[in-house]
Amino acid sequence: MAELDLIVRNARVATAGDEFEADIGVKDGVVAHLARRLEAEAGREIDARGRVVTPGGIDGHCHIDQPTTDGSVCADDFASATRSAACGGTTTVIPFALQMKGMTLREAVDDYHRRAEGNALVDYAFHLIITDPSEQVLGQELPALIRDGYTSFKVYMTYDDMKLDDRQILDVLSVARREQGLVMIHAENSEALAWLTRKLELAGRTAPREHATSRPGPVEREATHRAITLAELTDTPILIVHVSSREAIEQIRWAQGRGLRVYAETCPQYLFLTEDDLARDGFEGAKCICSPPPRDAANQQVVWDGLINGAFQVFSSDHAPTRFDDAQGKKLHGADASFRYVPNGVPGLETRLALLYSRGVLEGRLSRQQFVALTASNVARMYGLFPRKGTIAVGSDADLVVWDEKEVVIRNDALHHDVDYTPYEGMALKAWPGLTLCRGHVVWDGEAPAPAGGWGRFLACAPPAPARPAGRHVTDFHPA
């Protein structure tokens, strides 16, 4: 009988802290040995000679089979989304269990488990989205769910059917501090963007390009500063999600420089799209409508700089899949609808890692260690999954990506999601995952994904443990 289930031979292993040559021995889905040369037998061997092997990616911000209130339909369910993730080198996804107004958090979680159970090809955990922070939710449900492994939750400062006011956000933050949860914040000033939207519509400026006009940098900057202030009042760590602008990054760096526990995430659309993509001919710009919107080329460089200099800790896809040529997608209200009524979001689960590896690592902007930290290790730490996930170490899950450094052109017909477009169509890359393993099981062999469903497991998350800067303490607040 073979000693091991699998050995990956001759790997150039890259983690967030190191890079070395090794054989990787896998037993029962876990890394059992790391050695220069493993003198052991295995049921299967994979030769990775000449190729880099990184930890499987963790996408800490994606929307999968999420219900909506506007009549649009999420194009990806757990089967198609996790198939797409596997083919792009992602072995863990963390989508959102959305609490609709009037729904309990537990109902939202139970609904999401029904959607995911038996359908996922890779592992998954859940964030919560809190839209109705009632006394029962904050006093009973949320603390209980944190203890059950749902340790991160998102709140919105915009969208009429989801936004919380400042007092409600303070209540959520204080529970998070007491119960050791992490609050993710969508930071845009709702009143400002609504006012701008109304002005644009009165002027007849309703094309997709005006989505960016309605949400300029100051709209994100003000909300980011306000979120930081609320977090400072409660002494609670926060993650500002999908940061897009120089103005917001300046606020985040200011807070980090003062020792506040403010973390930040950005996404591919802010590195590889610009506001010019919203101005594509006809209604084509609707393919790139997301919030906050892509900005200009100079701002793109500022986002790159934030990845390089440590302003950002996490790089996520914010995969929000609606089809373009579909009456339940981007054309929900027709091909001449105002930008206000176009469902938000772009697909990106499958392309996230290859975009950053190719344009970041192989073009010399980022080291492999930075790449691993941004796409796997920091994400695992942030959401209480490290060291089970996010690294290649003895005892960690055998989640591995073997990279093929080769010319690849992104074509939607070669991707594996259920969306009818990619905003990155025609983009030339220099690498793509050649092999993806989730707990030692090949879920993508470079040609086709494994058969759908059943392999992925739900992961309960431990509380995150970001270090408290010395000398920082503000009196704890609790909701009444």
In a domain, 62, yes or no: yes
CA distance 81 to 61: 13
Mean pLDDT check: name the lowest of 280-294, 395-409, 452-466.
452-466
Residue 462 CB neighbour total at 10 angstroms = 14
CA 90 → CA 57, 62, 369, 468, distances in Å? Answer: 4, 12, 17, 30
pLDDT at 196: 98
pLDDT at 396 over 60: yes
Determine the average pLDDT of the residues in 94-107: 95
DSSP bridge pairs for 441: 438
CA distance 72 to 178: 37
pLDDT tens digits along 221-231: 999 999 999 99
pLDDT at 469 over 70: no
Determine the average pLDDT of the residues in 424-435: 98
Name the one residue in this structure whose structure tokens are 């000449």.
50
CA distance 270 to 268: 5
Between helix 217-234 and helix 246-257 the angle, nearest 10°, is 20
pLDDT tens digits along 110-143: 999 999 999 999 999 999 999 999 999 999 999 9
* Segments in 275-422 forming alpha helices (H): 297-309, 352-356, 368-372, 378-382
Name the one residue in this structure whose structure tokens are 């999968």.
64
CA distance 78 to 318: 15
pLDDT at 465: 58
pLDDT at 467: 39
In a domain, 205, yes or no: yes
Which structural domain, as residue segments, surrounds residue 291?
57-371
Which of the four pLDDT bands, split at 50, 70 and 90, describes residue 69? confident
pLDDT at 276 over 70: yes
- CA 268, 274, 277, 278 dihedral sign is positive
pLDDT tens digits along 190-232: 999 999 999 999 999 999 999 999 999 999 999 999 999 999 9
Pairing type for strands 400-404 and 52-55 reads antiparallel
CB 33 within 8 A of CB 394: yes
pLDDT tens digits along 223-273: 999 999 999 999 999 999 999 999 999 999 999 999 999 999 999 999 999
Determine the average pLDDT of the residues in 341-366: 98
Determine the average pLDDT of the residues in 350-360: 98
Identify the three-state secondary structure at position 139.
helix
In a domain, 233, yes or no: yes
In a domain, 209, yes or no: yes
pLDDT at 339 over 60: yes
% of residues, the chain, pLDDT over 70:
96
CA 15 to chain centroid, in Å, comes to 19
Q: Is the peptide bond before 292 cis (omega within 30 degrees of 0)?
A: yes
Determine the average pLDDT of the residues in 173-187: 97
DSSP bridge pairs for 52: 12
CB 47 within 8 A of CB 7: no
pLDDT at 475 over 70: no
- CA 378, 380, 384, 388 dihedral sign is negative
pLDDT at 354 over 60: yes
Which of the four pLDDT bands, split at 50, 70 and 90, describes residue 454? confident
CB 13 within 8 A of CB 53: yes
- CA 268, 270, 272, 276 dihedral sign is positive
CB 426 within 8 A of CB 410: yes
pLDDT at 26 over 90: yes
Q: Which phi and psi (to 5°) does residue 152 adopt?
A: -130, 145
For residue 367, is it left (φ>0), alpha (ψ between -120 and 50) or beta? beta
* Of residues 431, 457, 466, the one with CA closest to residue 446: 431
**What total number of domains does the chain contain?**
1
The one-letter code for the residue type at 327 is: A
In a domain, 480, yes or no: no
In a domain, 93, yes or no: yes
pLDDT at 128: 98
In a domain, 423, yes or no: no
In a domain, 440, yes or no: no
* Segments in 117-189 forming alpha helices (H): 135-136, 142-147, 166-179
Between helix 217-234 and helix 166-179 the angle, nearest 10°, is 50
CA distance 448 to 455: 16
CB 368 within 8 A of CB 19: yes
pLDDT at 466: 52
pLDDT at 12 over 80: yes
pLDDT at 468: 39
Return mean pLDDT, the chain.
95
Which of the four pLDDT bands, split at 50, 70 and 90, describes residue 452? confident
Determine the average pLDDT of the residues in 329-338: 95
SS (H, E, C) 328-356: CCCCCCCCCCCHHHCCCCECCCCCHHHHH
% of residues, the chain, pLDDT over 90:
94
Residue 85's CATH number: 3.20.20.140
The one-letter code for the residue type at 341 is: Y
CA 175 → CA 135, 154, 169, 227, 321, distances in Å? Answer: 11, 13, 10, 16, 32
CB 229 within 8 A of CB 254: no
CA distance 143 to 105: 11
CB 134 within 8 A of CB 441: no
